[in-house]
Structure 1
Amino acid sequence: MAIQTKDLNLKEYLRALSAEIPDYQRGYAWENEQISQFLEDLVEEYIANSDKSEKSYFFGTIVVAKEGNSKAQVIDGQQRLTTITIFLAAMRNYLNSISETAGDSANELCEEINHDYIGRETSRNGSTYKLRQRGEIETYFREEIQKPKNVFETLQLTRKEGRKPPRNAIAQAYNVIVNWLENDLASKQSNDVEVYPNDGAKAERIVHLVDTLLNNFFIVEIESNDVTTGYQIFQNLNGTGKNLNAGDLIKTDFFGKVTREETKEIANKWDEIQSITGNDDSTEIIRYYWNAVNSKFATKRSLYPRVSKEIKTSQEIFNFLDDLLKVVPSYMAALGADSDVLDYRDTQVQLALKDLRSLKLKSYLPILFALELNDATDDQVADVLNSICSLMFRNVVIANEVANKFEKLFAQGAVQINDDQSIEMLIDELNTRKISDELFKDALLKYNAEGSLDIARFILRKFEHLDDSTKTLNGNQEVHVEHIMPQNPEDITSWGFENIDDNSFREHLWALGNLVLLDSKKNTKIKNHSFESKKAEYANSGLRQVHELIEQDTWNAQTIEKRTEKIAERSVETW
């Protein structure tokens, strides 16, 4: 058994890389949040160390097994290596798309990326790709990511290969980076002047970002000469011990800055916070609070150094912890802790928080904390939360914009509240950020609910409440989402389609207009029956949206499209 370790920046590592990800490894799994955090860290690293080319950002450990002269088998680190390749491919493709006006340095970087960091296919040497995906995404990854393109555009998602095609995870990651880069290069200064006014400036921005990634980001590679040992190393690295989080570091830092007499009081306040939250890791609440009261935005990575640098005296520490205690009830209510939801503010605030929880949103918490610290009224809190819900539902949930970009918007809004900006001005600002009614409606008309029935349930539950406020559909899980046209119909021709493999059938099956709320017993009972049989059972439901279906004579593509249109129009009015 032989084990080697080395730490290298990504430039050195990728140049020497010749590895493959076995098909038995789990597929690519990074989602918008992880990719957005990677991009945010990259920009922050560039700002902090733009004049340096030294290894300063630890990007993680990579474990490989290499037997003889074969390619290294990646055991741990495949998510990071895949993301790096996708990022470099997107940067290269953008530079290719402006090659005639970007300048020589941009064209040289494209060649460097192809030759040194991604690899390519040549007539003499065949494939020299640095990273080879195995399994069903191998061809897609090579053709759509690794091979150069002269156009810069998002990749099409597909639903033709099963419920959640693995290629979609790759495509979605690429699309997130494409959308992020377009927004980054379109940045404007406070006087509305473009930061990167021409292709040369845009190319220079990309060169700087790529250089930061390659020179400043570094990894530690652990290589064994057999797969079994590699997996033992992986298990030991991931299965033992507990890393200190930012909250732990801040707590330790505070204790080091106060007198012995003050230590007990600090400990009591800290214990009170953690006993209420029921969580030893206070990083999240601290970060949201920090971004609520400070103009210097903190990521998870930068939180500890920011707090340590700014909070120095005993009084500042006590004020910090006292403020945290003030926002704990709003934090717990936002998370849905029963006792706090019942006691926290009025019904309208509770309903707004429930909607935000249903959408799995928390990035707005700095604004909620600022409202709490500034003694906002219940009506003001409800109005702001509903505006946030509309913004995020339109832009993030339906239009699939990156959620992380709104974190800074919400942090800025919180700071403005602390600076006595009016609540009305904040609401106006939030409303101006919403995508247009036309774009929102178009996204809803195209929305495919497969794999995201919670969103359909959220929309339909909201409508039921608006139609009949006496109903108590309080939880997103208390009702089931019924396919009016079933997934496996007994007779598909009775629904106007030829066979279950028809693409049009799949599209209409998961359209919003083909979905309705129903209690679980009725859902099970009517199963895959004809529309006439379903209507007989629908008559026993107490939900208004179900009763509306009874008036329909048939159910087919046209009626589904008509109901989808109706849902989209009402959604525009509601959000």
Structure 2
Amino acid sequence: MTEKQNTFGEFVKNYSFVIPDYQRAYSWGEKQLNPFINDILEHCDDNDDVSDDTTYYLGHYILENSKESDKFEIVDGQQRISTVYLFLLVCGYLKSENYINEISFKPVSYDLLGLEEIKAILSKKIDVDDKLEKLLKTSKTSSLKRMIEAVSLFKKAFSDTEKSKNTNILNAEDIGKYIEIINKAYCSVAIFNDKSVASQIFELHNTRGVKLTETEKVKALLMKNIYIHSSTPLDAEINIQEIQNDFSRIFEFEEKANEVWLRGEMSLDTILMYHLRAIEDGNKIVDFGSPNWVEGERGSFEYIKESLSKKNKGEIVAYAKKIAREFARSMEIITYEIPLADEKNPLVGDSLLLDKNRSMIFLLRAFRSGNPTENKLIERWENFLLCYEIIYWNGYYYNAKAYRDDFQSIYQSIKVDSNLNECNNLLLQYYKKEKWFSDRWEHLGNNAKNLFEIEKNKWHTNAYGWDKTAYFLYKFEIENEGKHEDIRKNIFKKNSVSIDHIVARGVTWEDLGFKRDTTENIKQSDELWKKITSVINGVGNLSLSTSSANSSDSNGLPYQHLSSFEDFGLVKTVELIKDWKNPNDFATNISQRTENIRTFINEKIINRNDIWE
């Protein structure tokens, strides 16, 4: 190890920087870029007297370098170096100078061509803003998008002239001063020839910028344990390289998976949590509910840390390597296999909309064993969950008439390197009550059907508070000419799903056309409102929506919601409510739509003997 104190200018001239693919790609946004601009402005004065200049601190950098290479991998500090590089690109564009000439820098490999294109656009100086915008729209990785956005932010900071609009105003005439501030900035550098030591520092060291993710902490923890417990230094180097290769794949999958609709806002750390619940190192057969959270005391990092502590020295290396390898496999399944299967059978994605917690475990295991869209397995899984939810909501579980369920045994029945017949048969046995799924479970189909009828009033009067109502409304739409891809894209993709009251709870008497100016008018309006409120929270008065549309449409009459419903692709809802104009008919209209939805649930969900034969 060597430690040096340098100016930043000396630092960048002396090394050839590479960001390894197992590292997090560029992640800085406006929240980090504006303080960077402010730092430069704070150290820039209006005179040429160097005696009163203050020194800018540009942070601590950790590099890893093997003795055989002239390349230095950036273990920590790559966000700052990347940002300075992008800033100098913009400065060079404005001054027609090559300020990056002395910096040898390569981003992660999957962003290399994109960065070259940014440089080419700036160097040609023709339609720069339009070309950057076009590149932003076509970029395949979120990290490349953030680089383009950083370049655009720096350009804007130079072009803004009104201080009231933007306090981070840069002056092109002062570019020479800015570069001098950066070159003379103080920084400290630690260089390691040992990947494992560098990774331990990375685990513990967190500087100003984006907080270390749970995934990054897990990566460093695995690398550290491999180094400590490998038989020889050579074995450690080989094993650590395997971990790096797997995390390189993981981070690349993460960038490519950002546009996959079914992930919604699911972060890489969340996927790690689901992976550990479902697979861990590939040998998991129990405890499918742990880790309990993404991070924290019962989160992913602490879960793996505890698991490592329970293994002997001979097991640790194999366990750590399998964690990384299997996590990369899970990312491949989520990024490619699930979306491809969903194109052929949308029930794959539907099951994630219905119950992400259970279905993610189910699918991560199932796709390792075969294709769950064959032999009716995905149909049975979705229908099993739907009937379970109907039974639960209608009091069978909620009122403690039954206790523990046995989803654990369903997951256990999906074994790696085997077909899915065992799981398929187990679902059938639970459905027919050949095996007990839960205390007093009874026949799944009959129980769901009976409770559906017994609790009929609940659907008419009180479906609003149930978190599965959105899914039943979604299924109702796609059964009636609505396109699942449109509804998913417009409502579910951003996790912005909301439930809208078609006849708004906040509608006024004036909206309903009533004047409460006489005793008779008051009596009539009160009777009408009593009828409407008796069913206002029933499923017939509810529609899929988004949080933003629900907010803007919330107190309008039914026809005032139609444009939103049309935009979302809710064909059946639009067809049914376009004629809801007479307030005297609202209660009847709501009740009729409730019956339409209940008929659909009864025929297309509860009585699905075709998939259980």
Choose between structure 1 and 2 for higher RCO, CA contacts under 8 A separated by at least 6 residues: 1
TM-score (norm 1): 0.44
Bigger CA radius of gyration: 2
